[in-house]
Amino acid sequence: YIKLHKNEVCKFARYILQIQVLIETNESYSNSICASFDFDEMRGHRELIYSYINVPDVTIRERSQIHYGTARLRYKEKDKTLEGTYWTDRKSVGDIILTKLQ
């Protein structure tokens, strides 16, 4: 589990043939549709790339519709973080920094 903000959690699950990313907040949840690890030791890159669907609570759908997005996160071993960007079909973009809980 990775804590995002107060009452927000990101959970990663890895199965034999599947990676799943789940993010829950006070207002919505996101579930990955597809995900992949990209390890390129030659360049020193370790990335998680995933596409997701975000489903807001029914009570806020007037201001936040169901939407799809993609995130590309690079693992930073020194800081034990995943850092990167996301973009959505609503034309929104942003930064993500995830830190592993102890």
Q: Dihedral, CA atoms, 57, 86, 3, 64, nearest 10 degrees? A: -20
pLDDT at 67 > cutoff 80: yes
Could you report the per-residue pLDDT of 24-39, keeping only the tens digit for each?
889 999 999 999 989 8
Query: Cα separation of 28 and 26, whole Å?
Result: 6
Spell out the domain ranges in the chain: 2-100
Global confidence as pTM: 0.79
Q: What is the mean pLDDT of residues 44-48?
A: 88
Write down the pLDDT at residue 2.
Answer: 46
